[in-house]
Copies of this chain bind each other. A is one copy, B any other.
Amino acid sequence: MLNQSNQLDLMFQALADPARRMMVNRLCHGPASVSELAGPLTMSLPSVMQHLQVLELSGLVQSQKVGRVRTCTIDREVLSLAEQWISDRRALWGRRLDALGDYLADNPEEPDTIQTETSQGGEQ
């Protein structure tokens, strides 16, 4: 079992490629065979299989071979993990803006002091 941090590593890594994002995009319309995934991509089938392997390792995509046809599906819950991580961070940012607004309302005369750094050491 992957822990959540490892899964986020693999998932964001999997999404960091335009061909893999195209494959995820296609699979969000429904299951597809490998040749259907390869259709719009200008690359060899072995390259498509390599990208598919990265997607499968991340948990974003599962595939099953029946006869000679490998059918791929997206795991929506795994995709949600990535979305959730980002939206949680954006929520933190929103709360920080609220706090900053409160601070500025309470301290209208000294807005320049908010980010003051006092250390005189090396690169901080």
Contact = CB atoms under 8 A, between A and B. Distances in A.
Contact of A21 (B8, B30, B35, B96): B8
- Bin chain A's interface residue count: 35 or more
A83 interface: yes
A89 B100 CA distance: 33
Contact of A120 (B10, B15, B68, B70): B68
Dominant secondary structure at the A interface: helix
A92 B25 contact: yes
Q: How many copies does the complex hold?
A: 2
B123 A68 contact: yes
Contact of A18 (B5, B25, B31, B89): B5
A41 to B, nearest CB: 14
Nearest to A22: B5
6 contacts: A21-B85, A25-B92, A28-B89, A28-B96, A34-B124, A45-B123
Interface of A: 5, 8-13, 15-18, 21, 24-25, 28-31, 33-36, 45, 49, 66-71, 74, 76, 79-80, 82-83, 85-87, 89-90, 92-93, 96, 100, 115, 117, 119-124
